[in-house]
Amino acid sequence: MAWSGLLANFAGGVFLVILQPFKVGDFVTAAGVTGTVEEVGLFATALNTPDNIRTIVGNGKIFGDTIQNFSVNAYRRVDLTAQLAHSVDPAGAIALLKPALAKVPNVMAEPAPDVEILTFNPMGPVLAVRPYCNNQHYWRVYFDTNRLIRETFGRAGFPVPEQHYAVRGGEEFRLAKRA
């Protein structure tokens, strides 16, 4: 039984070396672990997680699971949402955010940032705010964009979104209450 696990890790290591879905220095999610690849061995791969924990994962598990390589493409999209109150005009909010996003350091001009209505919830419309940036600037753009959303909506005087529920009782409710 132990040999089968060892052989699976060895076979996974051979495939990782041959197919090279990632290399040392890439930021990946492999076998459910997200981090920077520090070492690819024949039996296991070492990753440093964002909170600086060295995690060793068997290559059989890595190769048998989904691998996401965040470093292989030249740029990424930052996916954020912005909650609006019901009283805020979404088109007006979009018109404020789009030009402001272009001024955030490290946000790419092409592809242009997307700001659109994503969904609606009990508090109001939710905007999808999606700037693009080079991989090395991802977290800086993420935090700067969050700050921009808050500051832009604050300067515009947008109200804080609140959930509103209406509880209504019909004639049946009033009759049941009397009984």
Residues with Cβ within 8 Å of 177's Cβ and at least 6 positions away in sequence, in order, are 169
Between 9 and 143, name the one with better pLDDT.
143
Q: What is the pTM of this model?
A: 0.78
* Confidence tier at 6 by pLDDT (50, 70, 90): low
Query: Which whole-number Å values give the CA distances from 44 to 14, 55, 63, 64, 155, in the listed order?
Result: 11, 10, 11, 13, 52
Model confidence at 20, in pLDDT bands (50, 70, 90)?
confident
CATH of domain 75-155: 3.30.70.100
**What is the architecture, at CATH level 2, of domain 2-69?**
Roll (2.30)
Q: Show the tokens assigned to 76.
A: 């990424």
Q: Is the pLDDT of residue 165 over 90?
A: no
Closest CA to 131 of 61, 86, 81, 58: 81
Q: Hey, where are the domains in the chain? A: 2-69, 75-155
| Cβ 48 vs Cβ 33: under 8 Å | no
Q: How confident is the model at residue 162 (pLDDT cuts 50, 70, 90)?
A: confident
Q: What is the pLDDT of residues 130-139, one digit of tens each?
A: 999 999 999 9
Q: What is the pLDDT of residues 63-120, one digit of tens each?
A: 888 899 999 999 999 999 999 999 999 999 999 999 999 999 999 999 999 999 999 9
Instruction: For 21-55, write each residue's pLDDT tens digit.
Output: 899 999 999 999 999 999 998 888 999 999 999 99
